[in-house]
Amino acid sequence: MRLQKWLLVKLVALAGVLASVSTNYCGAGETGPPANLEISVDASRPIAVALDLLEQRHGVAITYEDPRYAHESDIADVTDRVRRDSGGNPEGTHPRVLIPRHGRLHVIYVMRGKTSQLDDIAAVIRLLLEAHAEQRLPGGFRMERSGTLFHVVPIAVKGEDGGLVEAGSVLDAKIDLLKEERTGLETLEAICAALHQVTGEHVVLGLTPLNWLIDRRVSVGASDEAARAVLGRVLAGIEPSMSWSWRLFYDPGLKWHVLNLYVVPKMHESMPSAGKDQP
């Protein structure tokens, strides 16, 4: 199967490669005044890593989607750092491993309590996107909010000539999907196929909770509907009591989009202590 989809698209576009993360809680606890919270990341895709931390910390789903990285200044070649063999190809001919360029983000924010949690989360996401733009890191993003679910989607990226161009997500594309009962996995694969048919781009499933997707059946159809909305309805149909999120990564080497799905755990009753690094 094409070398297992090129080793699951090089371990899902090396999502967490060479990343360092620090998340600190400072100040008063739950019963006192609002505490200052800190996020500091140094990673490829720093926005995605920061959103991972927000999800883990506050139990709120925040999806993320890559732009189509194209310019050499936005891309890092990490082949020599992550590969030690030729992948079955003659020496020097194996595909290069390309990832978005590393960047650092640091924000301090305040959460006022459960009644204003979603508004506070929205404010933190805006802080992260502003910091990302100020440092001119790869890609430009905006936030969308749908009820309790947040989306961070691309709006701009450097073109091959280095100029900034508008750039949406492949999930913006409108698709048709015949309504019939399928497993969750079959339905997601049908969405990927529909996206390929409409856009001509490869969209493949990456890391997913396979047991859930194989065991659950859904009946979802679509007519000229944005793939992002269809995906949300499918996940809600698989298990409506769960809070689903996704990461759509773009591999600039293969020029494939890799869709990773997971359930966001409920917020823990206790917070990590100040100075504790999260994995």
Of 2-11, 142-151, 187-196, the poorest mean pLDDT is in: 2-11
Q: What is the mean pLDDT of residues 170-174?
A: 97
Provide the pLDDT for residue 116.
77
Q: What is the mean pLDDT of residues 13-25?
A: 51
* Sequence-ordered alpha helix ranges (H) in the chain: 2-14, 46-58, 79-82, 117-134, 184-199, 210-215, 227-238
Please check whether residue 257 is in contact with residue 249, taking contact to mean a CB–CB distance below 8 angstroms.
Answer: yes
Q: What is the mean pLDDT of residues 126-131?
A: 97
Provide the pLDDT for residue 21.
55
Provide the pairing of β-strand 75-77 with 174-183: unpaired
- Token pair 């929205």 is found at 122
Record the tokens describing residue 191, joined without a space: 């969405």
Percent of the chain with pLDDT over 90: 66
**More confident position, 207 or 241:** 207
Q: Is 132 a residue whose pLDDT tops 80?
A: yes
Of 87-96, 112-121, 131-140, the poorest mean pLDDT is in: 87-96
Q: What is the mean pLDDT of residues 222-247?
A: 94
**More confident position, 189 or 7:** 189
Q: Is 25 a residue whose pLDDT tops 60?
A: no
* Sequence-ordered alpha helix ranges (H) in 15-162: 46-58, 79-82, 117-134
For the four alpha carbons of 82, 86, 69 and 197, in that order, the dihedral sign comes to: negative
Provide the pLDDT for residue 163.
87
The 8 Å CB, 24+ separation contacts for 220-225 are 220/177, 220/179, 220/187, 221/177, 221/178, 221/179, 221/180, 222/175, 222/176, 222/177, 222/179, 223/176, 224/174, 224/175, 224/176, 225/174, 225/175, 225/177
Taking the model in full, what pTM does it have? 0.84
Provide the pLDDT for residue 240.
85
Q: What is the mean pLDDT of residues 191-197?
A: 98
Q: Is 277 a residue whose pLDDT tops 50?
A: no
Of 25-34, 83-92, 99-108, 109-118, the poorest mean pLDDT is in: 25-34
User: Strands, DSSP E only, in the chain?
Assistant: 20-26, 36-44, 62-65, 75-77, 98-100, 102-110, 140-146, 149-158, 164-166, 174-183, 202-205, 217-226, 244-251, 256-263
Q: Is 121 a residue whose pLDDT tops 80?
A: yes
Provide the pLDDT for residue 244.
95
Range 214-247 burial, b when 16+ CB lie within 10 A, else e:
eebebebebeeeebbebbbbbbbebbeebbbbbb
- Given pLDDT bands bounded at 50, 70 and 90, which one contains residue 155? very high
Q: Is 10 a residue whose pLDDT tops 90?
A: no
